[in-house]
Amino acid sequence: MKLYSDKGNFQTLKISIAARLTGTASEILAIEVGHNDIVAPFLSKSKLPVLEVAEGKYLFSANTAAKYLFLKAGQVKKEEAEDEILEWENNELLPLIATYLINIIGQGKKESSVSDSLLKTLHQLESKLTKTKYLLDDTLSICDVCVFSSIFPLFSLKNQEVLSKLPNTKRYCEDVKKIQAVQDAISELTGGAGPEVFKASLLSQRFPLLPSSIVDRQTSGAAVATPDASGDQIPEVKLSQADLESARTSWGKKPDDVEQPRPRIHPILPDPQRRNILVTSALPYVNNVPHLGNIIGCVLSADAFSRFARLRNYNVLYICGTDEYGTATETKAMEEGVTPREICDKYNKLHVQIYKWFNIDFDYFGRTTTDQQTEIAQDIFWKLYHNGYVLKDSVDQLKCTKCDKFLADRFVEGICPLCGFDDARGDQCDACGKLINAVELKSPKCKICKSSPVIQTSNHLFVDLPKVIFLFYFSLKKA
């Protein structure tokens, strides 16, 4: 086996400790690579550490790799309970710790909202450790290895404000740290250096995104329910006597006595005295006539919700429109022998007529090709770009040398690599419904000239989500 990692990657600690505890360290060859090196050939971006368990077989989740070593050694005893904690560590704890460390170590700043959310999440751990030495019982398990490895960098910080408020968690980490295998793994990772050893890796690697539930807790200031021995419990919502009386009175009213819906007056603007709700749905493409499936699965559900919200006298704005960009529009224009603009005008008119016939009650139904939409989209891009939230990277794509054109999405067709359907598109297979990348197609053909394309590298711009996602959620909750 081969373990590929960059210098100072604290997630490597999970695999390193697991290897020593399970006696498989001698079977693993450690290889240090660059922070942005791509090891697994099927990944388009760097994701480290990576454990190559056999020729061409890679595990690029540190939790999965560590668990693989425990399974290999027959040391997984309570798999269901361990998996539950591993999922919590990966989905909630790790994203917050990574964001916290990036702020403190990588950018030299402190975000109180992040530290508050981290503390609330760690309180779940604090509660679990009140009755046992380790997370499940008094025996070290794979979930202890992974949770400790993610928490460990917090000990290297000069200001340990988070851990100082969690005595059980601090005691737990100190107990794990006393184990010789853990000490050896830490020494190999840090070489006795301080928190700066993690900086370069933190700023280059990609971590799981913060789930909205974390941000919801942080922005609402709600208390966090901590698990007990019987499992997570949802706190009971207590109703006052006034709440009960109000509900009883409302239930007994006749239809004519209840508050009537307010008249809609456009333009609909935010009202500080009412609950404001913006409703939208997936924007339909203009490459075809909408059918019942489009309507039911898209605009109708949003229409039903917006009508309910208006009956509740919420201040609701329901906006939708046709998506007139992308390869679907361009290929449809080629099929009909007209310009993309003519296709957009034709099918936008049909969409408007059909939704009107079905009485879909939009407040505004627009188009993505208007001058105002273009101005807003470009303004958003330039703000992201100038604030350092845009990445430049290269991607392998299929290129038709005859048409001298890169074949994105629907410009290429071929055999689905998953189900073998012989007419799959470069973005999705209509037979199995799975999303695919164009370069994965077998026997690909250019949709325009039917010639076989070649793989070439092209440069692209990406939004750096790990940097912007927390700010985005926080801003969205405040809006």
Instruction: Delimit the CATH 1.20.1050.130 region(s) of the chain.
Output: 2-211
Q: Give the pLDDT of residue 410.
A: 82
Longest dimension (CA), the chain: 80
Give the pLDDT of residue 102: 87
> Lowest-pLDDT range, 234-248, 280-294, 306-320, 417-431?
234-248
Q: Give the model's pLDDT for residue 173.
A: 93
**pLDDT tens, position by position, 426-478:** 888 888 888 888 899 999 999 889 999 999 998 999 998 888 887 787 777 77
pLDDT score recorded for residue 307: 96
pLDDT at 216: 54
Q: What is the pLDDT of residues 76-110, one digit of tens each?
A: 989 999 999 999 999 999 999 998 898 888 777 77
Q: What kind of fold does domain 2-211 have according to CATH?
A: Glutathione S-transferase Yfyf (Class Pi); Chain A, domain 2 (1.20.1050)
- Give tens-digit pLDDT for 122-133: 999 999 999 899
Q: What pLDDT is attached to residue 230? A: 37
Over residues 203-214, mean pLDDT: 70
Bridge partners, 435 (sequence order): 428
Instruction: For 350-393, write each residue's pLDDT tens digit.
Output: 999 999 999 999 999 999 999 999 999 999 999 999 988 999 88
CATH of domain 276-369: 3.40.50.620
Residues carrying CATH 3.40.50.620, the chain? 276-369
- Which amino acid does the sequence have at 410? R
pLDDT at 222 over 50: no
pLDDT digits (tens, 9 = 90+) for 23-67: 999 999 999 999 888 887 777 778 899 999 998 889 989 999 999
278, pLDDT greater than 60:
yes
Q: What pLDDT, on the 0 to 100 scale, is given for residue 227?
A: 34
Listed in order, the ranges of the chain carrying CATH 2.170.220.10 are 391-463
Which is higher by pLDDT, 108 or 216? 108
pLDDT band at 240 (very low <50, low <70, confident <90, very high): confident
pLDDT score at 223: 39
Residue 231 has pLDDT above 50, yes or no: no
State how far the alpha carbon of 441 is from the alpha carbons of 398, 401, 433, 454, in Å. 10, 17, 14, 12
Mean pLDDT for all residues in the chain: 87
Q: Tens digit of pLDDT for each residue in 3-23?
A: 999 999 999 999 999 999 999
Amino acid 221: pLDDT: 46
Domain 391-463 has CATH 3.40.50.1100: no
Res 310: pLDDT? 95
- 122 and 114 in contact (C-beta within 8 Å)? no
